[in-house]
């Protein structure tokens, strides 16, 4: 649909500039063909064929996400409201039955829902029901918490994501897998697994791996999935570097001062490389995440170095000047990439 719209705009321009001439009959035939193609797309895939429809679709996507989250909260609150009044066998049956029932509902909805908004909403509830299931089962039987449920949630969310082509469960599944890896690594080092965030190096590795995965794994018809991989991976890796810039614990046996310098240099290098990769390969998502973290790292450092002793007006002046300098820099990079493409 986007290609057809772009073609139409370009055609109008070419006709206006006189670079192309079409007879009235040719134009009418072309318009009729394009209209039929668009109508066929709308009928078969329920895609947006006008800008107004696109804006509505965005609103509906936001609504389905918010609605899904609200329904998840309702499910959790309802469970806790009833919980104390139920005997153990009923509780266990409900816990195991809830995700399976929601899965059946998801299958039914997905077969009828061409727009996929309701499928996305029920998919979110299915993942929430699974998380609730193992969490509450653990609480009920006073099971010592372990990282293993994270792996189960990850697998479940990935099945839902790939089975029904849903992006939010994919993001949840990838995040759970990264947290499980980090928790397991902390546990292997002899520490308590729940303090995995204190040693975020694993997130750095896992995030990089997740971001690079679409380069080797093709996603065919799931055109949105590589974006999710790149964004989740980049946020995990760069988020880990933000924590590592203030080391309190690390797998590397080195003094804090050495680690601080190492990770500060690494943070800027990785954020810069992310922007460069995004610009080079035309991944706008990577460019945005990389730029946001580059700015965050910079402001974090400036705050840490100067906030205590510098007059506040001067501090904010430098922040403003730095933001303008960054804008100029990014504009130059953008211009260079554009000229590189046109050559």
Partner 1 sequence: MRRYRVLAASILVVVSNGLALLGVAWNRSAGPVQTMELTERELRLVSTSPDDSSVRLRLEWWYPGQLQNRTGTFNEAKLRELGFECPPPAPGTRRSETSRPAFIAFELDPSVDDKIPSETVRTIVTSSDGRPPAPSRVRSRLVVRDAALVYHQLRQRYPDTRRFLIARGVIRPYFLSLDPASDAAVNRWEGSLSQVIPREIYVPLPHSRALARLKSQPEAQRHYRVVLHYGRRLEPWVGTVEVKH
Q: What is the DSSP string of 228-285?
A: HHHHHHHHHHHHHHHHHTS-S--SS-S-HHHHHHHHHHHHHHHHHHHHHHHHHHT-HH
Quote the least distance from Cβ 226 to partner 1, whole Å.
Answer: 18
Q: For partner 1, give the closer residue by CB, 106 or 228.
A: 106
Closest CA to 63 of 118, 139, 137, 143: 118
Quote the least distance from Cβ 4 to partner 1, whole Å.
Answer: 29
Q: For partner 1, give the closer residue by CB, 151 or 295.
A: 151
In a 13 Å sphere around the CA of 30, the CA atoms on its Cβ side amount to: 13
Q: For partner 1, give the closer residue by CB, 62 or 86.
A: 86
Q: For partner 1, give the closer residue by CB, 81 or 112.
A: 81
Quote the least distance from Cβ 99 to partner 1, whole Å.
Answer: 5
Tokens of 168: 């939010």
267-303: burial string, b at 16+ Cβ within 10 Å, e else: bbebbbebbebbbeeebeebbebbbbbbbbbbebeee
Q: For partner 1, give the closer residue by CB, 49 or 191.
A: 191
Q: For partner 1, give the closer residue by CB, 204 or 275.
A: 204
Quote the least distance from Cβ 234 to partner 1, whole Å.
Answer: 26
Q: Are 207 and 230 in contact (CB under 8 A)?
A: no
Interface ranges with partner 1 (CB under 8 A): 77, 80-88, 92, 95-96, 99-100, 103-104, 106-107, 126, 130, 133-134, 137-145, 149, 152, 155-156, 159-160, 162-164, 186, 189-192, 194-195, 198-199, 247-249, 255-258
Q: Are 157 and 202 in contact (CB under 8 A)?
A: no
Quote the least distance from Cβ 238 to partner 1, whole Å.
Answer: 23
Quote the least distance from Cβ 61 to partner 1, whole Å.
Answer: 22
Find all residues with CB under 8 Å of 120, minimum gap 6, and list them.
61, 64, 65, 68, 166, 167, 168
């Amino acid at each position: 649909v986007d290609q057809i719209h772009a073609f139409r705009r370009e055609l109008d321009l070419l006709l206006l500039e006189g670079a192309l001439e079409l007879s009235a009959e040719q134009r009418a035939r072309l318009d009729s063909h394009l209209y039929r193609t668009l109508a066929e797309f709308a009928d078969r895939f329920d895609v947006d064929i006008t800008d107004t429809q696109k804006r509505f679709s965005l609103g509906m996507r936001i609504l389905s996400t918010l609605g899904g989250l609200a329904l998840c909260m309702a499910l959790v609150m309802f469970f806790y409201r009833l919980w104390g009044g139920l005997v153990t066998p009923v509780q266990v049956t409900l816990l195991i039955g809830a995700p399976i029932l929601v899965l059946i509902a998801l299958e039914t909805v997905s077969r009828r829902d061409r727009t996929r908004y309701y499928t996305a909403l029920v998919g979110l509830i299915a993942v929430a029901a699974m998380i609730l299931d193992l969490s509450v089962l653990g609480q009920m039987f006073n099971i010592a918490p372990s990282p293993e449920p994270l792996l189960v949630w990850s697998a479940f969310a990935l099945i839902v994501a790939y089975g029904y082509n849903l992006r939010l469960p994919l993001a949840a599944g990838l995040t759970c897998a990264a947290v499980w890896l980090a928790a397991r690594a902390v546990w292997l080092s002899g520490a308590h697994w729940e303090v995995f965030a204190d040693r975020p190096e694993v997130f750095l590795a896992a995030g990089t791996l997740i971001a690079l995965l679409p380069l080797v794994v093709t996603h065919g018809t799931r055109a949105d999935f590589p974006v999710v991989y790149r964004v989740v991976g980049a946020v995990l890796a760069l988020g880990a570097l933000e924590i590592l810039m203030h080391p309190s614990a690390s797998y590397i046996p080195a003094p804090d001062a050495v680690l601080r310098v190492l990770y500060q240099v690494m943070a800027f290098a990785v954020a810069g490389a992310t922007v460069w990769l995004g610009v080079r390969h035309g991944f706008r998502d990577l460019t945005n995440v990389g730029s946001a973290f580059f700015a965050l790292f910079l402001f974090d450092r400036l705050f840490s170095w100067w906030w205590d002793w510098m007059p506040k007006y001067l501090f904010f002046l430098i922040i403003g000047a730095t933001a303008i300098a960054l804008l100029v820099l990014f504009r130059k990079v953008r211009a260079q990439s554009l000229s590189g493409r046109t050559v």
